A = this chain, B = another copy of it.
Amino acid sequence: MATIDPDRVLADLRELARFGAYETGVHRPTFSPDDVAARHWFVGKLEEAGLEGVIDGIGSVFGLSRGDGPKVLTGSHLESQNHAGWLDGALGMVYGLEAARAIGRGVDVAGFCDEEGHFGSFIGSRSFTGLLEEEEIDGLRNRYDGRPLRDALAAAGLAGRPRMRVEPGRYRGFVEAHIEQGDTLESEALGIGVVSAIVAIWQYRIVAEGEQNHAGTTSMARRRDAGLAITRLLGEIDRRFPEFAGPRTVWTCGRVTFEPGAPSIIPGRAEALFQFRDTDPAVLDRLDGELRRLVEEANRGHCPVTLDMIGQSRPAKMNDRLCGLVAEAAEAHAPGGWTRMPSGAGHDAQYLARVMPAAMLFVPSIGGISHHWTENTSDEDIVLGARVYCDAIERILDEDAGEP
């Protein structure tokens, strides 16, 4: 059985965290100078490990193993959210590197570009799995400063490079490790989460149209207050959704806007961004139906309310056989100290799962903190995660090839 080097794993993670270091975390947005430097540094580490290093035409980093025999694809992403944590993405990258080093055969490593969505939605893993057209790339811009993705690729010296595409039949599967980003593991004092599925996210824009008017001279009876219409609808969602939700469903209104937004003007238009997430298509359909019913009910009030679905991803079920092997490895290194759980966040594995068997494992996030520079995981949990991860990959490589 391959043996990992805990000190090497921790040292590589710490060295990677020096690119864009910010407080105790990192600020390494996609194609920032720190991010580009980190990609080149990581390719160097992959080559040191004996892999063939590549940065492709969308900015993804690959380390390809040489020789014949079964292969497993590993990895995650290298860029960070703004002013965020040192392990989000980086953990899965260094685990992949360590697996390649410790096992010494059949481990490819991929760092899918821009999982964090500075320019687009999962452009690295979508490009690799054939779900990203050139026309979409032409239109993408940095969501903070508007810089075109094409310019960023050119500045990073990647313009015109071919984009890597998955080689059919090459892999037994894809395994991604990631921090949990929630507190399920910590609160149950567990070391490993074996991911059963990645949630689908269904997103909506809800708009109420009222009549902008003077907040002093317009009687309550005569008002058509778009802000109040949205407030009432969000209140109904809050009251009704628990009845239709599954045990792990989450729903969120992250933004509300009243127009014109002045203290003495009755809002003439109000907008809310609303989303829910679940792994079960039946639950998603039920929630969508209830939302549509509540909007219809709201439409019987004074302000017309419209509902636009602006995003609808699919739940991505992880592969049972691979999950079983990850679970075996977890039980071997942490008997009774692991659980199966869904992922409430999106990951590149949801796109890889469309073209090969995929599995994910989580390590605990201290305090459940994510997307903040205080995000952290104990060294002990990082090392346990690396052991389970390498063991699982070795089990996949060593398994008699069966149906995935």
- Which residues of chain A have a CB within 8 Å of any CB of chain B? 180-184, 199, 201, 203, 212-220, 222, 225, 227-228, 231-232, 234-235, 238, 242, 245, 248-258, 261-267, 273, 275, 277, 343-346, 368, 370-372
Look across to chain B and name the residue whose beta carbon is closest to the beta carbon of A275.
B263
Which of B238, B254, B258, B372 lies in contact with A262, CB distance below 8 A? Answer: B254
Q: Are A254 and B267 in contact (CB under 8 A)?
A: yes
Q: Is the CB of B227 within 8 A of A249?
A: no
State how many angstroms separate the Cβ of A212 from the closest Cβ of chain B.
Answer: 8
Q: Give the complex CA separation of A213 and B252 in angstroms.
A: 11
The residue of chain B having its C-beta at the shortest distance from the C-beta of A227 within the complex is B253
When the two chains form their complex, are residues B250 and A258 in contact, meaning their CB atoms are under 8 A apart? no
Residues of B within 8 A of A344 (CB): 214, 216-218
**Chain B min CB distance to A45 (Å):** 29
A252: B residues at CB distance < 8 A: 215, 225, 263-264, 266
Report the minimum CB–CB distance from A37 to chain B (whole Å). 27
Bound together, the chains give a CA A343 to CA B217 distance in angstroms of 7
Of listed A203, A215, A232, A242, residue having the most chain B CB within 10 A:
A215
Q: A215-B250, A255-B263 are in contact. List 8 more A-B contacts (CB 8 A).
A: A217-B344, A220-B242, A231-B231, A231-B234, A231-B253, A231-B256, A252-B266, A263-B273
- Taking a contact as CB atoms closer than 8 A, the residue among B201, B219, B245, B263 that contacts A254 in the complex is B263
A201 and B216 in contact (CB under 8 A), knowing A258-B255, A275-B263? Answer: yes
A selection of 26 A-B contacts at a CB cut-off of 8 Å is: A180-B217, A181-B216, A182-B219, A184-B219, A203-B263, A213-B368, A214-B371, A215-B277, A217-B343, A217-B345, A220-B242, A220-B249, A228-B253, A231-B231, A231-B234, A231-B235, A231-B238, A232-B235, A232-B238, A254-B261, A254-B262, A254-B266, A255-B258, A255-B262, A255-B263, A263-B275
Nearest CB of B to A269, in Å: 12
Which residues of the other chain, B, contact A238 by a CB distance below 8 angstroms?
228, 231-232
A266's nearest neighbour on chain B, judged by CB, is: B252
How far does the alpha carbon of A267 sit from the alpha carbon of B368 in the complex, in Å? 16
The reply to whether B222 and A183 contact each other, CB–CB distance below 8 Å, is yes
Q: Which 5 A-B pairs have the closest CB atoms?
A: A182-B217, A216-B344, A235-B235, A215-B252, A181-B217
Q: A183-B222, A231-B253, A254-B267 are in contact. Are A217 and B275 (CB under 8 A)?
A: no
Bound Cα distance A382, B379 (Å): 80
For the complex, give the distance between the alpha carbons of A225 and B248 in Å: 17
Chain B residues with CB under 8 Å of A182's CB are 214, 217-219
Bound complex: CA A79 to CA B156 (Å): 55
A213: B residues at CB distance < 8 A: 368, 370
**Residues in B neighbouring A214, C-beta threshold 8 A:** 181-182, 344-345, 370-371
CB-CB under 8 A from A231, the residues of chain B are: 231, 234-235, 238, 253, 256
Which residue of chain B is the closest to A252 with respect to CB atoms?
B215
Residues of B within 8 A of A217 (CB): 180-182, 343-345, 368, 370
Q: Enumerate chain B residues within 8 angstroms of A199, measured Cβ to Cβ.
A: 216
- On chain B, the residues within 8 Å of A216 by CB distance are 181, 199, 201, 250, 277, 343-346
Q: Given A216-B201, A217-B344, does the pair A258, B254 have CB atoms closer than 8 Å? A: yes
